[in-house]
Amino acid sequence: MMRSIKFILLGALVCIAAQSAIAQNAQKAQMQYVTTFEAGQPGAGIYKLYDVSDDVICYVLMPDTASRKQVDGKWVYESNSLGSISCLKANSTVKSVVKK
């Protein structure tokens, strides 16, 4: 009885790990780039992005270039003091008509 429970738990863990790996490899949805604004500091910008599926506009404060290094064969982006994000509902007439 205990042995079969262990195999069931092991099987469940393997399934969860496989689903996690598949989700990481799946293509991520893309927001549409709209424009860039001055951020008031050198090497940074405020980027305006639009999410068509949810009719949302986001403003992202981030560096113009990202610094990264390779660790164990994978790219790791170094942290910095920039990176805030603000989003709001766009309420565009096109999406409002489609959602009704």
Query: Are 83 and 61 spatial neighbours (Cβ–Cβ below 8 Å)?
Result: yes
Q: What integer is the mean pLDDT of 73-88?
A: 79
Q: In this predicted structure, what is the pLDDT of residue 2? A: 47
Q: What integer is the mean pLDDT of 15-41?
A: 75
What is the pLDDT of the chain when averaged over all its residues?
A: 75
- CA 76/CA 79 separation, integer angstroms: 9
Which among 54, 37, 48, 49 has a CA at the least distance from the CA of 89?
A: 54
Token pair listed for 50: 């639009």
Backbone angles phi, psi at 84, to 5 degrees: -75, 155
Q: What integer is the mean pLDDT of 12-35?
A: 68
Query: Are 87 and 54 spatial neighbours (Cβ–Cβ below 8 Å)?
Result: no
Q: In this predicted structure, what is the pLDDT of residue 14? A: 46
Q: What integer is the mean pLDDT of 33-56?
A: 92
- Is the model's pLDDT at 69 over the cut of 80? yes
- CA 79/CA 75 separation, integer angstroms: 13
Which of residues 37 and 17 earns the better pLDDT score? 37
pLDDT band at 75 (very low <50, low <70, confident <90, very high): confident
Q: In this predicted structure, what is the pLDDT of residue 51? A: 94
| pTM attached to this predicted model | 0.57
